[in-house]
Amino acid sequence: MPIRVSPISAFRDNYIWMIRENGSNEVSVVDPGDSEPVLSVLRKEGLSLSSILITHHHADHTGGVKTLLEHFPDVEIYGPRHGTFPIITAAVLDQDRLHVAGMDLRVIQVPGHTLDHIAYYCELSNSPAAGMLFCGDTLFAGGCGRIFEGTPTMMYNSLQKLATLPPAIMVYCAHEYTQANLRFALCVEPSNADVIERLRQVSEARNLEEPTVPSSLSMELRTNPFLRCHIHAVRKSVLESMAISPASSDIEIFAALRRWKDNFSG
């Protein structure tokens, strides 16, 4: 049966993804940092919460779980087995498979932003080249998460894992950071026509207060500098801006690019 995925806005720029199989009134939500907007949608649409997917332990992704559990005590809570968030009923590891809201999901371990970070990947049965990726704060539209607990090598390798998934998949990240990320991407690759056009479209959407996610992985591969550290134009820009060795590896380019973005105010 077809799957519907819709965003529930939370805080200033978070997205809680609600997954629903058509014809069912049971839903799953991804990273509910706040319970109230979730409960509001469930009440309004007459829905019941059956499961929660957690990507990592940060409070803006887990803060609503306790209250949601009070309203739906039988809810299944999936999350990383080696994480620090205590309210998990079904701990999962890399390559584990689960069935949620009509979808078969595969767990992908993606440490870097945090040590426990995981993503959930659904390969849709109607096409081997299409699917959905719920990636929390690892891969953003036009960017990637800050490295709080892991290392640049961890984060680079995690992003490379995601980059090998089918390009047609849709990427459901957890924050509305796209416009700022693409401004940085344009600074890195000012001649990238795909970045220029994407930033134009995203700016129009944000002027209308419309979400800019999900995006396709193929779009990320063309416009996201953190997936393009092997591209000559990105390497050249990083070498010029960060004064690192011309012999730097792709991982070292990535680490410098992440430091550049951490201090970017454009």
- Looking at residues 164-181, what average pLDDT do you find? 97
- Specify the pLDDT at position 226: 98
Helices of type H across the chain: 35-45, 59-62, 65-71, 152-163, 178-188, 193-207, 217-223, 232-242, 250-262
251 has pLDDT over 90: yes
126 has pLDDT over 70: no
Determine the Cα angle at 173 with ends 102 and 255, to 5°: 135
Catalytic residue annotation: 56, 58, 60-61, 113, 137, 175
Nearest to 177 by CA among 201, 207, 211: 211
- Domain with residue 204: its CATH number is 3.60.15.10
206 has pLDDT over 60: yes
The number of CA neighbours under 13 Å toward the Cβ of 100 is 31
CB 237 within 8 A of CB 188: yes
Q: For 230, left (φ over 0), alpha (ψ -120 to 50), or beta?
A: alpha
142 has pLDDT over 90: yes
Our count of domains for the chain comes to: 1
pLDDT above 90 covers what percent of the chain? 92
pLDDT band for 2, please (50, 70, 90 cuts). Answer: confident
- Looking at residues 221-244, what average pLDDT do you find? 97
- Specify the pLDDT at position 265: 83
Length reported for the chain: 266
128 has pLDDT over 70: no
DSSP class per residue in 27-60: EEEE--S-HHHHHHHHHHHT-EEEEEE-S---HH
Residue 156 is part of which domain span?
3-262
- Looking at residues 110-121, what average pLDDT do you find? 98
